[in-house]
Amino acid sequence: MPRQFPLPPGGDPAFSPLADARMYWPVQRARVQVAVREAFQASVGIPIERGVFGLWKRGLPGSYRVEQWGLPRRIVEQALGEELILNINPRELIRIRDWQEMPKRQRPSSSAFIWDGYWDLRRGDLRHGSRYRFIRDIETHRHDLVNSETFRQLKQRLDEKRPWASHQQGLLLDSEARIIAYLRVYLAFMDDMAVHGFDGLRGKDELGVAVSREGKLIKINRGLHRLAMAQYLGLPSVPVKVKAVHRAWWEKVTEHTHGAEALERVVEALPHCVPETEPGPLDPHESPKHFTWP
């Protein structure tokens, strides 16, 4: 068996037995990319963002432009901390922003806290998304994973000499045994969640959401597998973190205030935000009419 090596930053220890030394160089490239990005943020990005945020918070000249740009998300998160965490019913968080086929120039910046545009009107349905289908599939075939659709797809890649690999995790599913082991890791995650509940510290990414122009919560990327597990299990509540808000909602809530007062108004309004459950007027696909949770 190929020699194993430590998982890359952000990798889950549960996948350690599947880490493969043949993924050494892809993992090293991923490590370098992360290291360079974090070093730049620490030495250049964060100090600049902290400076412009302070300028805006104190209402100094140029603060208007800072708000028009969208405010630096990372610094807003530091300033508001736990105030951005909301506890919601995971089965109500069914809409996710859909940027497929949307030109990149029209997509909001992930570095900004205030988002412009019509991103909140174009939604996907998580109940029919790939992550929920994956979780439902392996749970349904828990005792016979070979007959799962996921196994069939991964096995087909294996037969075509292009086994599934992840340079982020250092994984290479180049045998049926490895495919089965990989799927059982996710089943173990589900079993742990069923017994101990949702662990917000588990996983490298928080469950991020954005607030729409109507004050509704829409899922954004990251943590989608864990959310799908919580939905399938019917957990009563999970913590989500507000990573961005629509400018229309921001302006309605802040009422032309700025700085600390504007942030206080946002903090007061966030607990009243609930998940968006309806389709959007610009949805690329129509959701099936009927759906039943387990």
Place of tokens 């599913």: 173
Tell me how long the chain is: 294
Q: How many whole angstroms separate alpha carbon 220 and alpha carbon 216?
A: 13
- Annotate 196-218 with DSSP letters as a single string: H---TTSSSS--EEEE-TTSEEE
| Assessment of whether the complete model's pTM goes beyond 0.75 | yes
When pLDDT is averaged across residues 168-194 and rounded to a whole number, the result is: 93
Q: How many whole angstroms separate alpha carbon 97 and alpha carbon 120?
A: 6
What pLDDT score does 285 carry?
81
Q: How many whole angstroms separate alpha carbon 143 and alpha carbon 8?
A: 31
- Quick check: is 19 in a domain? yes
Q: Which of 131-135, 198-202, 229-233 shows the lowest mean pLDDT across its residues?
A: 198-202
CA-CA-CA-CA torsion sign (12, 15, 17, 22): negative
| Residue 267, both tokens | 């903090």
Residue 167: burial class (beta carbons within 10 Å; 0-12, 13-18, 19+): middle
- Quick check: is 280 in a domain? no
| Residue 157, both tokens | 């890649």
Task: Indicate the average pLDDT of the chain.
Answer: 90
Q: How many whole angstroms separate alpha carbon 228 and alpha carbon 180?
A: 20
What pLDDT score does 10 carry?
59
- Quick check: is 172 in a domain? yes
- Quick check: is 174 in a domain? yes
Q: Rank 27-31, 42-46, 102-106, 228-232 by mean pLDDT and report only the highest.
A: 228-232
- Quick check: is 286 in a domain? no
When pLDDT is averaged across residues 108-117 and rounded to a whole number, the result is: 95
What letter would DSSP give residue 40? H
224-233 vs 130-140: helix crossing angle, rounded to 10: 50
Tens of pLDDT, residue by residue over 49-93, are 999 999 999 988 888 899 999 999 999 999 999 999 999 999 999
- Quick check: is 201 in a domain? yes
CA-CA-CA-CA torsion sign (175, 153, 139, 169): positive
**Residue 2 predicted with pLDDT over 60:** no
User: What is residue 170's three-state secondary structure?
Assistant: coil
- Quick check: is 74 in a domain? yes
Question: E-assigned strands of 113-237?
Answer: 114-115, 123-125, 165-166, 171-172, 208-211, 216-219
When pLDDT is averaged across residues 20-45 and rounded to a whole number, the result is: 78
Q: How many whole angstroms separate alpha carbon 226 and alpha carbon 231?
A: 9
Place of tokens 């349905």: 125
Rg (CA), the chain: 21
Q: How many whole angstroms separate alpha carbon 135 and alpha carbon 189?
A: 11
Exposure string for 81-103, b = 16+ CB within 10 A, e = fewer = eebbebebebbebbbbbbbeebe
What pLDDT score does 275 carry?
98
| Residue 114, both tokens | 């205030």
**Residue 202 predicted with pLDDT over 80:** no
- Quick check: is 53 in a domain? yes
> For residues 285 and 124, is the Cβ–Cβ distance under 8 A?
yes
Q: Which domain holds residue 47?
A: 13-275
Give me the residues paired with residue 95 across strands. 125
Q: How many domains does the chain have?
A: 1
Task: Give percent of the chain above pLDDT 70.
Answer: 95
> For residues 23 and 165, is the Cβ–Cβ distance under 8 A?
yes
What pLDDT score does 8 carry?
62
pLDDT confidence bin for 1, thresholds 50/70/90: very low
> For residues 217 and 240, is the Cβ–Cβ distance under 8 A?
yes
